[in-house]
Structure 1
Amino acid sequence: MAGRDENELEDVQLLGSQGTTYDFNYTPEVLEVFENKHPSRDYFVKFNCPEFTTLCPKTNQPDFGTIYISYIPDVKMVESKSLKLYLFSFRNHGDFHEDCINIIMNDLIELMDPRYIEVRGKFTPRGGISIDPYCNYGRPGTKFEKMADQRLIQHDMYPENIDNR
């Protein structure tokens, strides 16, 4: 199979750019997509962002966590550098952990219209408690809607041992 030609990537502007600007305020418009070359196949794409930061909306103190994004693409896929810059843009965004996770998922649904997506956060403890929100979405009227229901029900049936807290 041949690689991508330059015309397929004309909308991808950030990848390879040496003059990257890092915006410290929530910037969903930085997200870019490219065409899925395998739309006839269901497969997962996973991203882990272990250095996610945002601000507590009440105290303005930084919150640190890892963001896990898994999705089954349809026609469009998110470009990874733009995703990195997007997640970085939460640095000065003040919202609760649960809100950040849902905002990320909503923005990615609007951007790509994936068949299925789930976003999970694992935040470091503050005040002696950690918060690990999870949300997902399956395209309505498809097997992915049922998959989302099932994964939501079972998402924490077998929680991992946490030894870093």
Structure 2
Amino acid sequence: MSIEIERKFLVKNNSFKALSSDSSYLKQGYICLDKERTVRVRIKGSKGYLTIKGMSNDSGLSRFEWEKEISLEEANQLFKLVLPGVIEKTRYNVPIEGYIWEIDVFEGGNSGLILAEIELETELSSFVIPSFIGEEVTGDKRYYNAYLSQSPYDSW
């Protein structure tokens, strides 16, 4: 069990693609959407993941996260339980000065939205902000995947 510390930003342009070390398609759905916890199932390539996240702290930077790798078969079975509003996206991993920026290019009802996340060791960790990064949206619940599953970006 751990505390996830991350900052989230909008992405201004596609220049990150040239810097990407790899990319993968992700599909995720939510079994529980509660203000104090979410339970998510995700398929990434040939692997499945079950994740439980707690409520964010006041700054929106930190929250409890527990994740367990599960088989693809188990993930597909759990998808039978997810709420309507499955998230689909391509994730690009962009290494910059000791950190990996995860850039998500959303599909479906969230098409047009590109978000970047960076996971940090502490809330005070310093990092370089690359030129493709735009406005910070850390703590803005509209940009949480759980919210996007219920209120897609194209409905804003």
TM-score, normalising length: structure 1: 0.29
Higher relative contact order (CA 8 A, sep 6+): 2
The structure with the largest helix share of the pair is 1
Larger Rg: 1
The structure with the largest strand share of the pair is 2
